[in-house]
Structure 1
Amino acid sequence: MAKVVHKFGGSSLSSAERYQAVAKIILEQCQLGDSVVVSAAGKTTNTLVKLWQSFEQQDVRAFNDVLLQVENHQRELIDALFTGDRHAALLKQLVNELQALAQAREARTLHYASLLAHGELWSARVLANYLSSQGIEARDIDARKLFVQQDGVLLHALNKEVCYSAIGDNAVHIVTGFIAADSQGETVTLGRNGSDYSATLLANYIDATQVSIWTDTTGVFSTDPRKVSSAIKYAKVCRSQAELLARLGNPVLHAKTLSPLKGTDIKLQVRSSFDSDALGTEIVKAGYSKEKRFITTFGQLDLLRVEKLNSGEVKQLSQLIQHSIHHFIKGGEAHLLVPSEFSHLVINALEPRANIIESQVQGFAVVAPSQDIAGLHLQALELLDDNAIVTRFVLQAQNYSLVLTDQSIDSDVLAVLHERLVNKGRELAVIVAGVGNVGEVFIEQCKDQFDKLSEHFDLKLVGLLRSKQMLFCPSGLNLAQWQQQWQNEAIEYNEAELFTRIKELDYEHKVIIDITASERFSALYPQFVEHDCHLISANKYAGTAKHSWYTQLRQKLQERNLLWRYNTSVGAGLPVNFALADLQNSGDEIVRIEGVFSGTLSWLCSRYDGSEAFSELVLGAQALGFTEPDPREDLSGRDMQRKLLILARELGIELELDEIELEPLMPDNLAQGSWLQFLENRQQLDDFYAEHDAKARENDAVLRYTGALEIANNGHVCAKVGIAHVPNGAAIANLTPGDNIFVIHTKWYEQNPLVIQGPGAGKEVTAAGIHSDLFWLTQNLK
């Protein structure tokens, strides 16, 4: 049975109303077998620390005053949440425990960790009883029975066995956070933010599928949302960046919290108990989220330089001061970034190897993808200089920039830094399907094109697909080394795995660029739309599918405010669809479109002069790679038939493929049988073509293979693809071999039609056309 661990902090349990809100969340989110880890309610731990200080100072009056504060808070919770026998029992238990604390003070036997443990014990007891009073099967568990450590090291094997036995499927288990026991049974604490650590430890021990940290913030932000209103809440953050932020002192997550999740598939999410409907932030493994940009600010810090920092010492020092310590190497020397209030403890522990080189500094760190850091570091220093802020120490590391300053970074300066360094534009994840000839050129062109678009959009090529293999990198592939990455990292996949990876992409926008010739892949378009992907197609199948399927796809795109562009499916890089759209948007009316829409058939017809057999031209074009592997696919005219249908639908005409009359450029019988049989009977093709060519010449015309779409005044549509005798002198007659031509007659271009002509095939122009569609997409999104 899949189990989930939830953790609620002190702010989530600060009042009776908050307990009721937490109970509502548990009712909605939990099932029997799940666990809930709790912190002490509100500021209870701080109050218990004051109680301990009064005990140490032997100040009886202060001790009794603070003990009364503790009692009053707990009584308020019990009085507000319970009645009858349950109220009486809980109150009696509380009074007995408080009396025991007073007696321990008198006997001088009070124990620090055991004293602090009361906060979590009371929270767990109150919450479990309140859930039970609401009809939820719940029981509280003292974590000292679950977590045992020896000489400061948790006994993982033993703890896992105990947790498996104690956490059954018959209740919701309310577990105390923050506390554990040593091998002698004495209470120990797990340090600052130990309840978060308790939650991830428990999840590891019981093989839970997920941990939810419920707090007073709705997730992990790009910077402090209390200081910068435009701070971005991220849906996903990769663990490596979360760990770095934790070491740098970011208050939402802490490095110790994340450590039990290493090597596991346990999901971790941060959510708000004050807004349980809001989606939180998921902390995911490497490869399941792109790296983000963050700015985290510091309070009072000291920078220490340490001689010969030994392995494991940073962890020991962090445990000593109960606070994360960031360390790094600069100039071959080890440095520690320590909160000023703890510096003396660290220096004493390292005596005489440590000394302070910068005291009482503040500042910030920029965390970002490694390829962005150098530029962001320079921009940050320029902004500080513009704002007359003096820097005391700077460090440009691989994936973060550290800046220590004399003065604090106020909200105004932080907002400017955030606007320039983080919130620089929209994000677009690009997934390319088809990395053959055109796909390779498209990818090679991406770096320059992405740079041109970077002012308004941050584009990342995150996925490459072939029929059986895929490569995904959520933070973006290295465009200079993508082929090597493909060779080393591409894996086999199925459709379910593909959509899982697409779903995990946490980008503002995603686009599938289909450069395949696969009808099966085009059939996946509705599923791509369901995963909120825009579409760019060089593939003609979707645009020429059954009208009902095509219309439904269009409707789904519109419902989700998604865009679809497929200009390169007709005319390669020629702006045909753009022209048709502009004419219609400007109030013109399309009357007739005629032209040659196949580079292959353009080349064959324009080159034929009777000096050699037509079949020889076909074989020559095949050898040059101008045709499909079986040239009969070109001669059939089906490709042009599909292109004419796409043009018709761009004009809003409801038309099916088989409603376009088709006349192949070969005898019907040659379409049957094998390619070898075709070669044996190729004289029939030669005779067929020579006969049609002769008839054209008799009429002072040339033979061309054209498509024509005509719209009558009454709305009747006539569409045909086939052999045409074009008068000498006409634009189509003088077509350059290999070019496409579109002759567009409109209400305004009636006597002198609009002509669009140019290469209709070729990997460079087709790739450029796809980039044109991509530019169009970004402009429409902007």
Structure 2
Amino acid sequence: MTKVVHKFGGSSLSSAARYQAVAQIVLGQCLAGDCVVVSAAGKTTNTLVKLWQSYKQDDNQGFSDILLQLENHQSELIAALFVGHNRSDLLAQLDNELQTITEQAKHGVLHEATLLAHGELWSARVLAYLLTQLGFAAQHVDARQLFTLHNGQLLHQQNKQACKELLQANALFVVTGFIASDVEHQTVTLGRNGSDYSATLLANYLDADAVSIWTDTQGVFSTDPRKVASAIKYPKVCRSQAHLLARLGNPVLHAKTLSPLKNTKIKLQVRSSFDVEASPTEIVKEGYSKAKRFITTFEDLDLIRVDALRQGEVGELSQLIQHSIHHFIAQGECYILVPAAHTHEVLQALSGRANIVESALQGFAVVAAPSDVAQLQVQATQLLNEQNVVVRFLHSDDEYVLFLTDQAIDSDVLAILHDKLVNKGRELAVIIAGLGNVGEVFVAQCQRQVAHLKQQFDVKVVALVRSGKMLFSASGIAIDTWKQQWQNEAVDYANSELIERIGELDYEHKVVIDITASEAFSHLYPQFIKQDCHLISANKYAGTADNTWYQNLREQLTERNLFWRYNTSVGAGLPINFALADLQHSGDKITQIDGVFSGTLSWLCSSFDGSTAFSELVVQAQAMGYTEPDPREDLSGRDMQRKLLILARDIGLTLDLEDIALQPLMPEDMAQGSWDEFLTRREQLDAFYAEQYQQAKAQNQVLRYTGSLSIDEQGKVSAKVGIAFVAKDSAIAHLTPGDNIFVIKSIWYESNPLVLQGPGAGKEVTAAGIHSDLYWLTQRLK
């Protein structure tokens, strides 16, 4: 079964040494059943084209000279690579084919496509012989047996069947690129640089896992690395951008290459046959890579306006001149960009329907995310003015802007453009999990906050996750229309899919913001860390998990130099975590933390004055959205217990939940059964609370629900959460309903404690606290 199709271009096979290098790559990378697709060696196709032109011009001497040039090149390759009967067999086959070419030319029956096919036939045969000589059973295969076209259209079902029948043996198949046959068994070509297309077609027909395109470059760069030393090699490029670059004439990938991969899971990599150890560029499906920025340059083009351009006609013209042609519509007119050397052929083919608008053009195109194109156009125009480069024609589209100029864009100007337009600030991909009350407000606030952060850092929200569904876009989600996008594009997902998609993100930094109340989601944190994600949590479960798990999580974060912020897990937007960290970083030592850490319980206790039953206040709080759906989650005190544990761990204590004593704010037996059953016994809650309230009143104190943590001089820790009677003149007694309060004692704040007080609940302040963590993260990443 074919797992991988490898394709080697002409530069990879340009000499005997390069054939040896490719053979070593194949030996190291391929398994029996895999396929290798080859182009003609070096400049062989160009030489064959010259041979055809000499034939058409009846230039007998030129024909003989060029044929001798071809013979010498192939003979030298064979002589350098083989000895014995392999050498003699290959030379004999070459001699027979050259004699046939000579005879066909003499009788005027030479066929262009059949002539051009020899380059690939020679490459496939030589490489297969070489691999066999090195001990790897290899067979060379003529692709005309595999690919058939009718009226220029591939017969996909027939071709798929042919490939599966002819490529079954336990061997390596070396297949000719570029060529196919028609239903009349005549040779046809797939267009110049069609070998890449042959490779992806073959992968499609064989249901292969992957295609590796081996070239003389290390991958896909932001611009020509030979001209700009700071050109960026991208690890991933999405297929649509790769296809656009190919249409614009970028030489790494060609226009037809990607079409056979549409709607498949076949992976495509661009690799260097000159540097096997170099990491590749992977061409990925839409949504698996953010949009990149590229500058691709042009030389010696003519701009032609065409009347009534037919569907498919651009492809026909490209086939005619064996070169990519870019076309676009501007102000209702259709234009094509044609290499100046081929303009005459194109004008003839269009027979009076075309006119040259501008000639001898140079220039470049900037390719980018649609949201960036307009801004880049303005910047590029300004830079060109500064460099005194005259723009003769400008065209912008959704994903690129085209500048056609009088003068060539030299390396110095290209480097300036690249530095200003491509080499921009660092990027942060944001994954937001949880779109409930707080989550929705956080996302709404994102539009303004992300714009603020972008002044220093390029922040993109790439995923929204909620209750088994996710909206994922590697290039960024439009925050102002996220609800509409969610309705149209959100899909069901499994955790493994979410982790995979996050792993595919090729951003410099990534952060998962957890605004869920899900313990199961917190269990994914180690997997997020393995994908090099920073963490921001409003979720308390990870911070209060088993201490062994928690310490392992901390170690994993440290090993990967990742940050974890969770300020809103305690105190909503209050900066309690920052305060504790600052005290300790400055050399202070925390000795005691007291306070009310639940906005819900703060409101209930501060609002009760005996005039309304406590259970009635609980029902009111539930109706106002102050409580959990089942208010017993709040009355149980477990939420405050978790918050106190987070604070304890923040000051360096290694506690677990069971180390914190817990007294619920209700009779313990009322935790059983449903909420409706609870309501039928509400008088029991009222009696419980009234009794505690009266006891506090009898002592001239007030009832509050507090958390308390203290460390004595010997280091002994005492921690508890429960009902407390506090003095009437204390800060806790005068707490505004709904507020949180933290009373912190330390070596420096012993007699006069540090007090932090403010709203301890509310979706706006909590969302703002999460944004504070995000801002903190971007400042650290800078």
Q: What is the rounded CA distance, in whole Å, between the counterparts of 1:164 and 1:543 in structure 2?
A: 55
- Partner in structure 2 of residue 649 of structure 1: 649
Matched, 1:192 2:196: no
**C-alpha distance in 2, partners of 1:299/1:85?**
48
Contact kept? 1:424, 1:456, Cα under 8 Å? no
Is 1:663–2:658 an aligned residue pair?
Answer: no
Structure 2 residue runs without a partner (length 5+):
none
Which residue number in structure 1 is paired with residue 211 of structure 2?
Answer: 211
State which drifts further: 435-444 or 667-676. Answer: 667-676
Cα distance between partner residues in 1 of 2:686 and 2:63: 109
* 1:571-616 per-position Cα deviation (integer Å, ceiling 9, x unaligned): 1111111111122222222221111100011111212222333222
Partner-residue secondary structure (3-state), 1:257:
coil
**What is the Cα deviation at residue 277 of structure 1?**
2.6
1:219-251 CA distance string (max 9 Å, x none): 212222222222222222222222221111111
Would you say 1:377 and 2:347 are equivalent positions? no
Can you list the C-alpha shifts for 1:721-746, whole angstroms capped at 9, x where unaligned? Answer: 12222222222222111111111212
1:267 deviation in Å? 2.5
Q: Does residue 220 of the first structure (1) align with residue 207 of the second (2)? A: no
Q: Secondary structure at the match of 1:670?
A: helix
Amino acid corresponding to residue 288 of structure 2 in structure 1: Y
State the AA in 2 paired with 1:303. L
Matched residue, 1:10:
10
Counterpart residue type for residue 458 of structure 1: D
Partner residue, 1:270:
270
Aligned partner of 1:500 in structure 2 is 500
Residues in 1 aligned to 2:555 and 2:111: alpha-carbon distance in whole angstroms: 69
Question: Is residue 749 of structure 2 the alignment partner of residue 760 of structure 1?
Answer: no
Does the alignment pair 1:125 with 2:109? no
2: CA distance, partners of 1:66 / 1:96: 17
1:38 and 2:38 equivalent? yes
The letter of the residue matching 2:149 is Q
Moved more, 692-701 or 432-441: 692-701
Pairing of 1:365-514 with structure 2 (within 5 A): 365-514=365-514
Cα gap change, 1:733 to 1:514, in 2 (>3 Å): same
Which residue pairs with 1:604 in the alignment? 604
**Worse overlay, 646-655 or 207-216:** 207-216
Partner secondary structure for residue 292 of structure 1: coil
Change in Cα spacing, 1:106 to 1:620, as seen in structure 2 (3 Å) is: closer
SS in 1 for 2:257: helix
Name the aligned partner's letter for residue 38 of structure 2: V
1:385 deviates by: 1.4
Task: Measure, in 1, the Cα distance between the counterparts of 2:298 and 2:649.
Answer: 59
1:737-752 alignment, distance < 5 Å: 737-752=737-752
Does structure 1 conserve the Cα–Cα contact (< 8 Å) formed by 2:272 and 2:280? yes
2:337 and 2:221 map into 1 onto residues whose CA distance is 23
Q: In 2 relative to 1, CA 456–273 (structure 1 residues): closer, same or farther, beyond 3 Å? A: farther
Matches within 5 A, 1:518-529: 518-529=518-529
SS of residue paired to 1:648: helix
TM-superposed CA distance for 1:18, in Å, is: 2.0
2:630 corresponds in structure 1 to 630
How far apart are the structure 2 equivalents of 1:149 and 1:680?
79
SS at match of 1:475: coil
Contact 1:247 1:326 in 2 (8 A): yes
Distance 1:301 1:563, change over 3 A: same
CA displacement at 1:403 relative to structure 2: 1.1
1:280 CA displacement: 1.6
Distance in 2, Cα, partners of 1:760 & 1:545: 22
Amino acid at match of 2:612: E
Q: CA deviation at 1:289?
A: 2.6
Does the CA contact (< 8 Å) of 1:361 and 1:405 recur in 2? yes
Separation in 2, partners of 1:317, 1:392:
25
What is the alpha-carbon distance in structure 2 between the residues aligned to residue 496 and residue 762 of structure 1? 33
CA distance in 1, matches of 2:675, 2:194: 74
Verify the 8 A CA contact 2:191 2:318 in the aligned structure 1: no
Report the Cα distance in structure 1 between the residues aligned to 2:256 and 2:625, rounded to whole angstroms: 60
Structure 1 CA distance for aligned equivalents of residues 165 and 413 of structure 2: 53
AA aligned to 2:715 is: G
CA distance, structure 1, for counterparts of residue 680 and residue 145 of structure 2? 87
Partner of 2:128: helix, strand, or coil?
Answer: helix
Q: Which moved more, 1:286-295 or 1:208-217?
A: 286-295
User: How has the CA–CA distance of structure 1 residues 53 and 487 changed in structure 2, closer, same or farther, with 3 Å as cutoff?
Assistant: closer
Aligned equivalents of 1:31 and 1:606: distance in 2?
74
Query: In structure 2, do the counterparts of structure 1 residues 348 and 676 end up closer, same or farther at CA, with 3 Å as the change threshold?
Result: closer
The answer to whether structure 1 residue 260 and structure 2 residue 267 are counterparts is no
Q: Determine the C-alpha separation between the residues in 2 that align with 1:712 and 1:16.
A: 80
Query: 1:608-647: CA deviations, max 9, x gaps?
Result: 2223332222222222221122222211111000001111
Conserved in 1, the CA contact under 8 Å of 2:589 and 2:747?
A: yes
**Residue of structure 1 in register with 2:311 after alignment:** 311
Partner of 1:735: 735
Partner deviation per Cα, 1:133-165 (whole Å, 9 max, x = no partner)? 222121001122222334444333433332221
Q: 1: CA distance between counterparts of 2:21 and 2:67?
A: 27
Would the alpha carbon gap of residues 185 and 618 (structure 1) be closer, same or farther in structure 2, given more than 3 Å must change?
A: closer
Alpha-carbon separation, structure 2, partners of 1:583 and 1:71:
82
Q: The residue matched to 1:17 in structure 2 has which SS?
A: helix
Distance 1:85 1:213 in 2: 32
Q: Distance in 1 between matches of 2:31 and 2:97?
A: 32
Counterparts of 2:104 and 2:321, CA distance in 1? 27
Partners of 2:149 and 2:671 lie apart in 1 by: 79
2:280 maps to 280
- What residue number does 1:330 align with? 330
Distance in 2 between residues matched to 1:647 and 1:76, nearest whole Å: 77
Task: Write the distance in 2 (CA, Å) between the matches of 1:490 and 1:400.
Answer: 28
Deviation, structure 1 residue 291: 2.1
Higher mean alpha-carbon deviation, 655-664 vs 726-735, is at 726-735
Amino acid at match of 2:489: E
Figure out how many residues of one structure are paired with residues of the other and give that number. 782
| Partner Cα distance (1:317, 1:86) in 2 | 42
Q: Distance in 1 between matches of 2:383 and 2:606?
A: 62
Cα distance in 1 between the residues matched to 2:321 and 2:212: 27
Please give the secondary structure, in 1, of the residue aligned with 2:185: coil
Aligned 8 A contact 2:430 2:460 in 1: yes
Classify 1:698/1:136 alpha carbon distance in 2 versus 1 (closer, same or farther; 3 Å). Answer: same
Q: What TM-score comes out, normalization by structure 1 length?
A: 0.95
Report the secondary structure of 1:278's partner residue.
coil
How far residue 53 of structure 1 moved from its aligned partner, in angstroms, is 4.7
Counterpart CA distance in 2 for 1:484 and 1:352 is: 48
SS at match of 1:561: coil
Percent sequence identity over aligned pairs: 68
Partner of 2:172: 172
More divergent stretch after superposition (453-462 vs 590-599): 453-462
Q: Deviations over 1:699-756 (max 9, x none)?
A: 4432221111212333322211122222222222221111111112122222222211
Q: Supply the AA of the counterpart residue of 2:498.
A: L
Q: For the Cα contact (< 8 Å) 2:627–2:634, is it kept in 1?
A: yes
Query: 2:246 is matched with which residue?
Result: 246
SS in 2 for 1:256: coil
Q: CA deviation at 1:683?
A: 3.3
In 2 relative to 1, CA 420–41 (structure 1 residues): closer, same or farther, beyond 3 Å?
Answer: same
Query: By how many angstroms is 1:84 displaced?
Result: 3.2
2:141 corresponding residue in structure 1: 141
Counterpart residue number, 2:23: 23
Worse-superposed segment, 413-422 or 572-581? 413-422
Equivalent-residue separation in structure 2 for 1:499 and 1:357 (angstroms)? 51
- Offset of 1:364 from its aligned partner? 1.1
Residue 235 of structure 1 aligns with which residue?
A: 235
Equivalent residue number for residue 725 of structure 1:
725
Cα deviation, residue 324, structure 1? 1.5
CA contact (8 A) 2:2 2:35 kept: no
User: How far apart are residue 25 of structure 1 and its match?
Assistant: 2.1
More displaced stretch, 264-273 vs 250-259: 264-273
Query: Is the 8 Å Cα contact of residues 703 and 726 (structure 1) preserved in structure 2?
Result: yes
Name the CA distance, whole Å, in 1 between partners of 2:466 and 2:57: 73
Tell me if the contact between 1:425 and 1:455 (Cα under 8 Å) persists in the aligned partners: no
Q: What is the identity, as a one-letter code, of the residue corresponding to 1:24?
A: Q
